[in-house]
Amino acid sequence: MSARRVRTDLRDNAASEIKKARALTNVSQIKLAELLGVSQPLVSSWECGKVTPGIDDIVRIESALNYPQGELLFAIAYPNNNPNTEQ
C-alpha cells in the first residue's frame, strides 16, 4: 500500500471516528471547538476529511469528550480491530 493511500485512509478514519465520537457524546461542533480552543470550521474540516488532525489534537478530543485515553486514537489507526465498529 502506498504512503499516499495510508494517509488518505487515516484522514478518512479520523473524520468518521471524530464525528461518531462527538455524536455519541451529544456534543456539537461548536461546543467541541470551544472545549478545544479551536474554530468550529476546523472541527468541521476534521469531520469532512479536509484536514487531518494531529495526534495531539486527537488526544485533546478524547479528553474533551471524556473518552478513555487512547480509544479514539486506536479506532483511527486500527479501524478493523475496533470492537465498537460494526462490520
Query: Looking at the domain 3-78, which fold is it?
Result: 434 Repressor (Amino-terminal Domain) (1.10.260)
Residue 34, pLDDT > 90, answer yes
Q: How far does CA 53 lie from the centroid of its chain? A: 7
Tens of pLDDT, residue by residue over 48-69, are 999 999 999 999 999 999 999 9
- Give the integer Cα–Cα distance in Å for 54 and 29: 18
Helices (H), the chain: 3-24, 29-36, 40-48, 55-64, 71-77
Give the pTM. 0.84
